């Protein structure tokens, strides 16, 4: 990590009450941005004593439900409903958002693999560094809203990184239950240490992430699950006053992603014809879909089967596939006790 505190500047005054809409100014000098800065939109809504909660979307640029939710929240949430402070960034990796891409076109940076970042590093590293050392460092809770992106669609889920110790995990599970998505995916503590979730574990900040739907568009049903769930979570965190909405509330099912061996891979190059949607319950041997080898009319279509019992958590979106591409990923239901064993 560099010695510079941060090169990102802002006119936002984090301690000022009321609503402020502004920018983080990311310095990057290339052919396109010789003397300019890249303006990452940020809102701060503060009112009196209470916790600071960081809300982010656009960590990956092509995941849209969270960007829509937070853009609206930043403009419309009445500051009088806030107890403490909300810091809202609907397009955290703004260069990736502008490019409609998962990663930044400036440096190929995947922000969710860039933590703890580097103030003197590439644009993506500088954003990660600011998020960890400035934004998360002053937060008592965080919500990072993801979706499946252009390539995949997820069953609407809260996504928990199960690191940071038992006490932090209990607080994250309580937050997930308040959110009330149909599924809560519990990912192993050993998953990537360069993610924002891992940064939160290092800082002891309970972080609730999501995978709302995806496919490079906005799923209206997933958006409503996200909107109601986020409001309930903010009431649960104690940063928002008033009634928690009762709609779109699920008694969330805890699931664990099954390993790579339970993912269905394409048996050949061709066009994928899926037979199931996310949320489907399937058995070992259930037909998952067909891959049609379009370049060879004399070759029959190949069937792909599920190799395990499970719930379809992720489905591939683009029809054109190469041999080995993932078509589906499964999860299995788990007991809360198994997370603390």
Number of residues located near Zn ion, criterion CB under 5 A? 3
Q: Which is nearer to Zn ion, 213 or 321 (CB)?
A: 213
| Nearest of 242, 268, 206 to residue 51 by alpha carbon | 206
Instruction: Check residue 161 for interaction with Zn ion (CB under 5 A).
Output: no
**Out of 28, 60, 129, 171, which residue is the one contacting Zn ion (CB under 5 A)?**
60
Q: Which is nearer to Zn ion, 154 or 328 (CB)?
A: 154
How many Cα atoms are found within 13 Å in the side-chain-facing hemisphere of 250? Answer: 18
Residue 103 CB, nearest distance to Zn ion (Å)?
A: 10
Task: Build a one-symbol-per-residue string for 252-291: x at contacts with Zn ion by CB under 5 A, - elsewhere.
Answer: ----------------------------------------
Instruction: Check residue 227 for interaction with Zn ion (CB under 5 A).
Output: no
Q: Give the CA-trace dihedral at 143, 147, 148, 149, to 10 degrees.
A: -110
Max Cα-Cα span within the chain? 71
Choose one: 59-67, 114-122, 247-255, 274-282; the region binding Zn ion (CB under 5 A): 59-67
For 305, counting Cβ atoms within 10 Å of its Cβ (0-12 exposed, 13-18 middle, 19+ buried), the class is middle
Q: Which is nearer to Zn ion, 28 or 146 (CB)?
A: 146
Residue 195 CB, nearest distance to Zn ion (Å)?
A: 10
Instruction: Check residue 146 for interaction with Zn ion (CB under 5 A).
Output: yes
Angstrom distances, CA of residue 161 to CA of 59, 141, 173, 338: 16, 14, 10, 15
**Rule CB under 5 A: which of 62-121 touch Zn ion?**
63
Q: Which is nearer to Zn ion, 146 or 315 (CB)?
A: 146
Locate 317 and state its tokens.
Answer: 């979106």
Choose one: 29-37, 56-64, 152-160, 221-229; the region binding Zn ion (CB under 5 A): 56-64
Task: Give Cβ neighbours of residue 235 (< 8 Å, ≥ 6 apart).
Answer: 178, 241, 242, 243, 244
Q: Which is nearer to Zn ion, 219 or 239 (CB)?
A: 219
Residue 85's φ and ψ, nearest 5 degrees, are -150, 135
- Tell me if 54 sits within 8 A of 139, measured CB to CB: yes
**Residues binding Zn ion (CB under 5 A):** 60, 63, 146
């Amino acid at each position: 990590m560099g010695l510079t505190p941060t090169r990102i500047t802002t006119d936002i005054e984090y301690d000022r009450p009321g609503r402020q809409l502004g920018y983080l100014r990311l310095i990057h000098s290339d052919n396109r941005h010789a003397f300019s800065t890249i303006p990452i939109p940020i809102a701060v809504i503060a009112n009196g004593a209470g916790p600071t909660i960081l809300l982010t979307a656009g960590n990956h640029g092509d995941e849209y439900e969270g960007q829509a939710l937070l853009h609206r929240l930043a403009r419309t949430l009445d500051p009088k409903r806030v107890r403490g402070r909300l810091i809202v960034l609907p397009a955290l990796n703004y260069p990736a958002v502008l490019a409609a891409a998962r990663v930044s076109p400036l440096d190929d940076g995947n922000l969710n693999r860039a933590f703890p970042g580097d103030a003197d590093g590439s644009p993506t590293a500088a954003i990660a560094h600011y998020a960890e050392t400035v934004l998360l460092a002053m937060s008592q809770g965080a919500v990072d809203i993801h979706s499946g992106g252009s390539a995949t669609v997820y069953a609407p889920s809260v996504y928990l990184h199960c690191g940071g110790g038992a006490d932090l995990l209990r607080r994250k599970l309580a937050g997930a239950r308040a959110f009330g998505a149909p599924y809560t995916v519990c990912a192993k503590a050993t998953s990537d240490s360069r993610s924002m979730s891992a940064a939160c574990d290092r800082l002891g900040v309970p972080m609730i992430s999501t995978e709302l739907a995806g496919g490079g568009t906005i799923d209206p049903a997933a958006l409503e699950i996200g909107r109601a769930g986020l409001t309930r979570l903010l009431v649960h965190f104690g940063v928002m006053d008033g009634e928690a909405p009762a709609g779109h509330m699920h008694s969330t099912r805890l699931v664990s992603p099954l390993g790579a061996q339970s993912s269905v891979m394409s048996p050949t190059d061709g066009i994928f014809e899926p037979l199931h949607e996310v949320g489907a319950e399937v058995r070992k041997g259930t037909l998952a879909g067909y891959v049609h080898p379009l370049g060879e009319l004399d070759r029959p279509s190949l069937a792909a089967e599920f190799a395990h019992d499970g719930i379809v958590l992720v489905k591939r979106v683009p029809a054109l596939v190469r041999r080995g591409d993932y078509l589906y990923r499964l999860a299995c239901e788990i007991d809360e006790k198994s997370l603390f064993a």
